Amino acid sequence: MRILMKGASLKKEGGCSWLQLRGQYHAFFSWEAKHPISFEIYEILDLLMWESAT
């Protein structure tokens, strides 16, 4: 699929995730650093990935 997209000069859109934190919903895109709590989000994500690997 990516080869076909590249041949047609198309790019895949980045992923978007929704997170509920302290009663509020937040949307963020893959490796986006503009969100006000992106540092917290990625710290929690790193912790979850580390815990799931053990």
The 10s digit of each residue's pLDDT in 1-54 is 667 777 777 777 777 888 888 898 888 777 667 778 778 878 888 999 999 987
Phi-psi sector, 27: left (phi>0), alpha (psi -120 to 50), beta = beta
Largest Cα–Cα separation, the chain: 44
Element (H, E) at 48: helix 38-53
> What integer pLDDT is reported at residue 47 of this predicted model?
92
**Residue of 53, 50, 45, 54 lying closest to 15 (CA atoms):** 45
> What integer pLDDT is reported at residue 33 of this predicted model?
74
pTM for the model stands at 0.44
> What integer pLDDT is reported at residue 31 of this predicted model?
67
> What integer pLDDT is reported at residue 45 of this predicted model?
85
